Copies of this chain bind each other. A is one copy, B any other.
Amino acid sequence: MKDVAQRAGVSPKTVSNVINGVVFVRDETRERVLAALTELDYVPNLSARGLRNGRSGVIALALPDLATAYSAETAAAFVELAHERGWGVQIEQTGAEPHREAELISRARAHLVDGLVLNPVRLAESAIVTGGQLPPVVLIGEVQQDLVDSVSVDSVAAARDMTAALIARGHRRILALGTVRADFDTASARSRTEGYRQALAAAGLPHDPVLEVGVPWTPGDAAAAMRAHLARHGAPDAIFAFTDSMALGALSELWRAGLAVPADVAVAGFDDVVEGRFASPPLSTVSFDRRAFAATALELLERRILDRDAPRERRVVPHALAFRASTGD
């Protein structure tokens, strides 16, 4: 900046004023500075700016597992919308480990990022509970917590609705894929299991533990679990996988077993990822507006960054059921 100032024959501060659009700059001066700016191909040092005014213009987005289609779509929405607000997005993977979550919060406090959008997996162990100085944080997903803002879909209602829809289509033995298991006990799994059970109860259907298949939320684990289930218990009427990703794994295994979807078994998922839309057959699923979700989270985060003491907010984004061929629609 010093060089630019010298070239334009003004002080560094005047250059700063031009860059930041301060009003009291004579047109002639401004033009001289702008010329020098482009001639020297000046680029501001954001570390310095960040140091000076306490903002880096970067937020962090932390997801449990980046390697999934769901993460990809979520990240894309956040990056695009954050960019509109002039923010960069630093992306992080927590691997569902609380210590990684805590680490990220430290990083945020390290002023490298102005705020943090965090998708925690377990509540009790979550780093958030450790009071202390919290940077601006917005939680996304099922984990709710008293100290910070959050955005979520009503997973209980969504799972209940989808299960009810399967029941309405005449299915009785509905396998839930991805329910809570001792070694895989997440808030999302709990909500969706809860919704599933509520729908069964409401319809007066028996609750069969065999139909609750606890399994890590990956297509591979889902496929393996389905294979074991089919061998031991035969085919259910329908499968409600708690993520599209697991539903795809289930579809693959059904194909392998020579079972037709939806003729022999109906299948539904959760998330509405693109790959589900183009599955064979296309997957019925719980859908929600990813952009609206991200926009809400960013809105809360910005509010929190501007005012640390703003009242805590908990927003719920509406969901909808998308019925496609995998349930015979």
Contacts and interface: CB of A to CB of B under 8 A. Distances in A.
A275 B255 CA distance: 14
Interface string A61-96: 000011111011101110110010000111111000
A254 B278 CA distance: 11
B88 A43 contact: no
Contacts of A256: 281
B56 A80 contact: no
B278 A280 contact: no
A38 B111 CA distance: 18
A58 B90 contact: yes
A306 interface: no
Given A66-B79, A90-B58, A110-B46, A252 B274 contact: no
Interface stretch (A4-12, A47-55, A199-207): A47-55
Given A72-B71, A219-B277, A47 B106 contact: no
Contacts of A77: 67
A43 B83 CA distance: 27
A152 B246 CA distance: 31
A88 B112 contact: yes
Contact of A219 (B45, B91, B278): B278
Contact of A66 (B65, B72, B249): B72
A255 B158 CA distance: 28
Nearest to A254: B280
A277 to B, nearest CB: 7
Nearest to A75: B66
Interface in A208-266: 218-220, 223, 245, 248-249, 251-252, 254-256
A75 B47 contact: no
A282 interface: yes
Nearest to A72: B72
A65 B72 CA distance: 9
Nearest to A100: B83
A79 B93 contact: yes
A170 interface: no
A20 interface: no
Identify which of A66, A106, A107 gathers the most chain B CB atoms within 10 Å of its CB: A66
* 10 smallest beta-carbon distances between A and B, as pairs: A72-B72, A47-B50, A255-B280, A67-B76, A66-B76, A46-B112, A252-B278, A47-B51, A219-B278, A91-B91
29 contacts: A47-B48, A56-B112, A66-B72, A66-B75, A66-B76, A67-B72, A67-B75, A67-B274, A68-B69, A68-B72, A68-B274, A72-B72, A75-B75, A75-B91, A76-B93, A79-B92, A79-B93, A89-B90, A89-B91, A219-B275, A220-B274, A220-B277, A248-B275, A252-B278, A252-B279, A252-B281, A252-B282, A256-B281, A279-B280
